[in-house]
Amino acid sequence: MRRLTTAVMAGSFLFSLCIALPIAPANAAGDPLVIWADQLRADVIKQQFPDGFKGTKLTVVVKESLAAIEEQLKTVKAEDGPDVIAAEHSSTGALVQAKLVRRLTPGKAVASLFPANVLRGFRYNSRTYGIPIQFENLAMVTNTTLVKKQPKTFARVVAVSKKLLASGKATSGVAVGQGEAGNAYNMYPFFSGLGGYALGVDAKGNVNPSDVGVANPAFLGNASQIRQWNSDRVIASSLTTAAAKDAFAAGKAPFWITGPWDLNAIVALPFGYRITAVPSMVQTKATSPLLGMKGFMVTVFAQGHQMRKVADRFLNEGIARAGVQAAFATAARRMPANRKAASGVTDLRLRAFGTAGASGVAIPNVPQMQDVWGPLGAAWQLSTKGTGATAPVPAFTEAQAKVVAAIASRS
């Protein structure tokens, strides 16, 4: 059982330690900093901090997954709870609302180490609650045997796809996985490229669940392009994620939408390829993919363990360091969040994915985002299913109504 000390006891014990030792440990009681992490990130922590952190020993407890960490954090006894956890950025809002994590104060120097759109993933209500270690996003992979010159606009992607489909050289245009249930994540670059957004942000940059952009006027004004893509068979929701990969790998699709999780499949391709951002569809609208970040957060238990200051320093001065970030990213084969670490990535394929994510937006980290995925994915599935497809405007208008109703039911 962890020792829970009072400030007076801690201060008294620190005084006695300072007499006995030339260098006192970073925390008053000399207790270890307890960290919950999945196996991959636990291994990196042990390798990067073999002797602890600034005089404090580290106890790393391996959990099955980041999802398991979040669930177990809800029921653990305070004395048994961790001081620091590895986490998905998308869980930030739920963890803050449950009063399980504490805010961080990284300061301008630490904040400047990260791109704003990456660091924003761990911000909630204008406060930072975590330090990101990596990010991932979608990009477009092009078969250079079928497409000699890289299209600079999505209109050109459509034209190239139509020509190859008509000649029989391709059976799919843009291979992007949807399937019967739809896939809002995979379709997000197209959605944002036409002016869509899931949940808006307020003047301070905080996610605003009251601002649902599934059927905003700008998007609906550009939605006729979706009808044309469907008519031309350039995008077909009949493709699952696995079928999209297979079609591209077989040389039957000129373009493929995927992320760094498919790097092994990309390396094994029997033809040349390029990895780029999805080209623009509408002038002034970025085809922004969603960004997913993993990182570390300080729990509310750290305060009771007299470990809050140590935990904060561990994240701001340890986890945020470029070398540590590079180690995490290498282990996960993802782009490091730290700018300096990212500049040192030597895998050109991974760097290309990172470049494609430069205009990306963090997946909204509020619980209400769970109400968006299903209706938004269904709208894309219905409007790109070929013969019998629902017209885009009514499909997305209905999706908007479902999202708004679901969010309202939470309150």
User: How many Cβ atoms from other residues are within 10 Å of residue 4's Cβ?
Assistant: 14
Classified by CATH at the fold level, domain 139-288+366-410 comes out as D-Maltodextrin-Binding Protein; domain 2 (3.40.190)
User: How many Cβ atoms from other residues are within 10 Å of residue 225's Cβ?
Assistant: 17
At 153, is the secondary structure helix, strand, or coil?
strand
Per residue in 352-404, pLDDT (tens digit) is 999 999 999 999 999 999 999 999 999 999 999 999 999 999 999 999 999 99
Give pLDDT, residue 30. Answer: 82
Cβ(366)–Cβ(199) below 8 Å: yes
Is this model's pTM higher than 0.85 or not?
Answer: yes
- Give the domain ranges of the chain: 7-135+292-356, 139-288+366-410
Give pLDDT, residue 28. Answer: 55
Q: Which CATH superfamily, name and number, covers 7-135+292-356?
A: Periplasmic binding protein-like II (3.40.190.10)
Query: Quick one: pLDDT band at residue 23, thresholds 50, 70, 90?
Result: very low
- The mean per-residue pLDDT over the stretch 209-233 comes to 97
CA–CA separation, 69 vs 91, rounded Å? 11
Q: How much of the chain, in percent, has pLDDT values that exceed 90?
A: 92
From the list 404, 399, 369, 377, the residue with the least C-alpha distance to 220 is 399
Per residue in 59-93, pLDDT (tens digit) is 999 999 999 999 999 999 999 999 999 999 999 99
Write the single-letter amino acid at 157.
V
Give pLDDT, residue 132. Answer: 98
pLDDT(193) > 90: yes
Domain 7-135+292-356 identical in fold to domain 139-288+366-410: yes
Give pLDDT, residue 4. Answer: 53
Cβ(315)–Cβ(385) below 8 Å: no
Give pLDDT, residue 411. Answer: 76
Per residue in 291-319, pLDDT (tens digit) is 999 999 999 999 999 999 999 999 999 99
From the list 336, 301, 306, the residue with the least C-alpha distance to 321 is 336
